[in-house]
Structure 1
């Protein structure tokens, strides 16, 4: 594998080459560093040499700027790692990073100029596992409503669970159920390939029933084992627009032996209030039945503040886009602090999504956030893996919060 450096400044190219080679590239699976003084020349090299698996690109170049270069990477179907470098403001770098990610590119990070050896090594190690090629993008599977209907009927949908932990104590206080499709030919299919289709074609209700049924069954097993967990489940707009949904959910929970106060329904902010009277009716009745309500992906919609005032939410989930890396990004930090302050004023619990590093964790602890969720804690996992993970987390959390517990306490 090769690394491609693109910058119109020959001195910067030479310095980056020296820094990268000093890290021992062979141990990381790279054989060479090649340089280009323009985006156009860099694209020509990419088209000619498929061994280029990591690109460092300057944003401010005279012939082709970094935004144009990103556009061409998408056109080429480039599936390797991308590191953006610029002397522009952090907000400008962040904007280009967001654009590249929105296009589906694998952005390993952004670096300001001058580039420090420490930050360069950090993004290099995060880019590609040692000795392994980067993930190659696969064609997006094309599924039909009939395919999904058969999957539901044949029991091919399954839940994975991502833990939520208390930031003050590190204790696991709940899990979020995340649906997957175990396709007989394609393997594990992620929800963005089929959930939007289920909503468009009237299948989301059937999908939701299967997700909730499995979530309740698994929660009952964990409660019986002594784990005092809450279960968070995403619900569709269609569900909170059906007047009989609160009674239907209560029947499902009763049949599974689950107290309703153990359930949290996560509702995406930008999809609320299409039918405000009915949704207010349904959500209020759910609260009267002690079901907790969480506004998901807060900050990504258009009318979140009004909804927080009007609807009986208990919990605010801060979108991952405002969490990860906010300790190094003043704009993200301002949004995070404002969201936490608003939640405190409204008496809402807060959950930060996208907690990927110890740096994220420590910032949230210091900021007074209540709960955390993300890869730093755990990736979503099958329900059968939860017991082992809970035991392993107990030892790890003591290190994170500096707490000494008597043996046997959970």
Structure 2
């Protein structure tokens, strides 16, 4: 095995270590120099096998690995597979001059192997791109260090559901044409007595695993209806979107529960929308169709959430009349600079228009995403560029801030 070149200052410096693998010496040197100037200790390899051998033999580990895809002997795809086999726990960045679609496929493959992928970069990668990806690695490391992945006992979660510890946060949705606030999506959080506000990603798996989804939704839906009803101003048409799961679509009394909850809160059913994630529309199709039809009869809106990520998108549009399509963030964010993503978004918007459905762009993360969705005449947008999920009392302040920002846009 050839000895790796170390462009950093060695062990004991406190610098974070990076491995770079590329069979082109000039590209390797340029990338290594950029990374070392950012303050990292860099080890370079022209052969992927040498990098694997160093990791296998207990040599210096790496916090981040940068690798090319097109390499002789062992290409980047095999290298990724070998990294997964070696149980590499650091982060991975793919850097390649290959077609962006191949790069995305390799990125998805690496994620499927369980690797911590920071992203994929075209050659030549700029210093700003490198800095952006490395900052994500630092952020992920700090999050792991501060949270340490809390594991909550089932009894604690059941108690939280039944004692009112679950609270709703709301992410705004606005009109792309006028900037008007169209509605909010309710996103559940756990107000934990020890850990503070805990996002749903930390406990929703436990809810689904133990069949608590129906009880979960029946606990949080009435409070969401009451909070948004209390927020409405005279003449307001603010809509509320709530996520559903298959467990709700198997409970035949669910439409009556929704109607009763809305009546108690004084919230018009015509301004309520139920979001169904398409990949969850499996199981008892007869019960699902029964419940969805009854929800429609009550004038409750129905939306396909995360459109394009499941296996039955067109079948669902064929079999049932939905009012709204929410195009998944994995297609929206960055589509202004990616021909493939742009084509998918345009096709989805055209399909929705022909079916007379409202379109919502999820994952609008920056001004470029925003302007691109406006150019494509998407109806509404949702994402961090507009507003993060927030407590109900924060919405009026955000609303004023958004009005000022939209005037500048």
Which residue does 1:58 correspond to in 2? 68
- Worse overlay, 343-352 or 280-289: 280-289
Query: What TM-score results when the alignment is normalised by the length of structure 1?
Result: 0.85
Whether the aligned pair in 1 keeps the contact of 2:95 and 2:125 (CA below 8 Å) is no
Is structure 2 residue 195 aligned with structure 1 residue 180?
no
Is structure 2 residue 119 aligned with structure 1 residue 112?
no
Deviations 1:63-113 (A, max 9, x none): 443234434555545344x32111222111011112334455454432223
Whether the aligned pair in 2 keeps the contact of 1:79 and 1:136 (CA below 8 Å) is no
Q: Distance in 1 between matches of 2:235 and 2:135?
A: 40
Which residue does 2:222 correspond to in 1? 213
Is structure 2 residue 94 aligned with structure 1 residue 84?
yes
Q: Distance in 1 between matches of 2:139 and 2:305?
A: 35
Query: Deviation of residue 207 (structure 1)?
Result: 0.5
Which residue does 1:336 correspond to in 2? 345
**Aligned pair in 2 of structure 1 residues 399, 306: CA closer, same or farther (>3 Å)?**
same
Is structure 2 residue 45 aligned with structure 1 residue 36?
yes
Which residue does 2:30 correspond to in 1? 15
- Please give the secondary structure, in 1, of the residue aligned with 2:310: coil
Whether the aligned pair in 1 keeps the contact of 2:360 and 2:381 (CA below 8 Å) is yes
Q: Report the count of equivalent residues.
A: 389
Which residue does 1:407 correspond to in 2? none
**Aligned pair in 2 of structure 1 residues 133, 306: CA closer, same or farther (>3 Å)?**
closer
- Decide which of 265, 279, 301 is 2:274's aligned counterpart: 265
Gaps of 5+ in 1: 401-410
Q: Distance in 2 between matches of 1:226 and 1:389?
A: 19
1:292-371 map, 5 Å = 292-371=301-380
Q: CA RMSD in A?
A: 2.8
Is structure 2 residue 15 aligned with structure 1 residue 5?
no
Q: Distance in 1 between matches of 2:133 and 2:397?
A: 27
- Please give the secondary structure, in 2, of the residue aligned with 1:128: helix
Whether the aligned pair in 2 keeps the contact of 1:53 and 1:134 (CA below 8 Å) is no
Q: Distance in 2 between matches of 1:379 and 1:62?
A: 45
Deviations 1:134-164 (A, max 9, x none): 4454665444543321111232212221111
Whether the aligned pair in 2 keeps the contact of 1:79 and 1:134 (CA below 8 Å) is no
Query: Deviation of residue 315 (structure 1)?
Result: 0.2
- Please give the secondary structure, in 1, of the residue aligned with 2:378: coil
- Worse overlay, 252-261 or 280-289: 280-289
Q: Distance in 1 between matches of 2:105 and 2:94?
A: 11
Query: What TM-score results when the alignment is normalised by the length of structure 2?
Result: 0.85
Whether the aligned pair in 2 keeps the contact of 1:162 and 1:381 (CA below 8 Å) is yes
Deviations 1:234-293 (A, max 9, x none): 012121222221111111011111111121100111222533333222222212222110
1:387-398 map, 5 Å = 387-398=396-407
